[in-house]
Amino acid sequence: MDKNRHKALGLSDEQVLEMYETMLLARRIDERMWLLNRAGKIPFVISCQGQEAAQVGAAFALDREKDYALPYYRDMGVVLAFGMTARELMLSGFAKAEDPNSGGRQMPGHFGQKKNRIVTGSSPVTTQVPHAVGIALAGKMEGKDLVTFVTFGEGSSNQGDFHEGANFAGVHKLPVIFMCENNKYAISVPIEKQLACEKVSDRAIGYGMPGVTVDGNDPLAVYEAVKEAADRGRRGEGPTLVETVSYRLTPHSSDDDDRSYRAPEEVAEAKTKDSIITFGAYLKENGIMDDAKEKEINDRIMDLVNEATDYAENAPYANPEDALKYVYAE
Ligand SMILES: Cc1ncc(C[n+]2csc(CCOP(=O)(O)OP(=O)(O)O)c2C)c(N)n1
Ligand SMILES: [Mg+2]
């Protein structure tokens, strides 16, 4: 990466350090969740690993006081940047009553937190896309200065919901940012078997919006693309499709064994481009972080993860009679 690229984008040293810390926090929470799952303490993990740079780079380009996020299950980096805490994510992992996402009733990864404008989603993939379009329409009708940011995987970009949502947003010039986190697999299906076009972003032209593909391991490239999309949306010029290309570094979920469909060498090769390493190196090259600072950040993050784990493990479960809460009118 070129020197001081962040300055040209209007980002301060403090802001890029905060981006790095958010990426690292997401990674360390995720790693802890795998350990807890293998120890039989939490039921399920679906990872952000390999996608932190895309998630955090994008979130930092938004107005996190006003804009709406409609994340998909891997977006730990997005929700942390929007204000969800390590403790709250761990409460969801342990399925405890105090989990703000669903009171421990949904699987982990079903993010939702009203105060931070993180809109809850459903398990069928891509259903969040029409919701994002609807919120953008409501914002436009009410004259509000808001952009909606919705993410999904590349496999999910084949679902009708994506095409219907993109078309409606294109026709009505709604301020929606469609961000496809292309991690090259949809469970066991590789990208070559998912799309007949070369890029997911090629689909944008069909809906009258710009489509760009950027390096999903580079948080600054994603920041730049999403910032431009947000500015466009705020100017009333309509939606944008951003595709971030990275790689899913873990199996699909804690219930998947990826050795049955991809070579370990392929995963090892992808790990050499891990954004936690490459963005850390960028910060060091630019004199923003040194070894001592890196250790201080790591120690602080591990303290947070430990505290969150202990708190969530000891927190009470929901009462059985709360299972139907909010399902029917109270
Ligand atoms: C409508 C629907 N079909 C199938 C599934 C099962 N499913 C869950 S995740 C997934 C793969 C999605 O792949 P992709 O969109 O590339 O996202 P990734 O998991 O790779 O981030 C599938 C098929 C589902 N949840 N919803
Ligand atoms: Mg995928």
Name every protein residue with a CB atom under 6 angstroms from any ligand 1 atom.
74, 123-125, 152-156, 183, 185-187, 248, 252
Q: How confident is the model at residue 269 (pLDDT cuts 50, 70, 90)?
A: very high
How far is it, in rounded angstroms, from Cα 216 to Cα 219?
7
Residue 168: φ, ψ to 5°: -65, -45
Q: Note the pLDDT tens digit of each residue in 279-320.
A: 999 999 999 999 999 999 999 999 999 999 999 999 999 999
How far is it, in rounded angstroms, from Cα 134 to Cα 198?
29
Q: What is the mean pLDDT of the chain?
A: 97
Of 73, 66, 60, which Cα lies nearest the Cα of 222? 60
Distance linking the first and last C-alpha atoms of the chain: 54
Write down the pLDDT at residue 2.
Answer: 75
Residue 153: φ, ψ to 5°: -85, 170
Shortest-distance atom of ligand 1 to CA 182: 16
pLDDT at 206 > cutoff 70: yes
Q: Note the pLDDT tens digit of each residue in 6-56.
A: 999 999 999 999 999 999 999 999 999 999 999 999 999 999 999 999 999
Q: Note the pLDDT tens digit of each residue in 208-229.
A: 999 999 999 999 999 999 999 9
pTM over the 0.75 mark: yes
pLDDT at 330 > cutoff 90: no
How far is it, in rounded angstroms, from Cα 104 to Cα 40?
17
Torsion of CA 274, 275, 281, 287, to 10 degrees: -170
Measured from the alpha carbon of residue 107, the closest ligand is 1
Q: What residue owns the CA closest to ligand 1's atom 11? A: 186
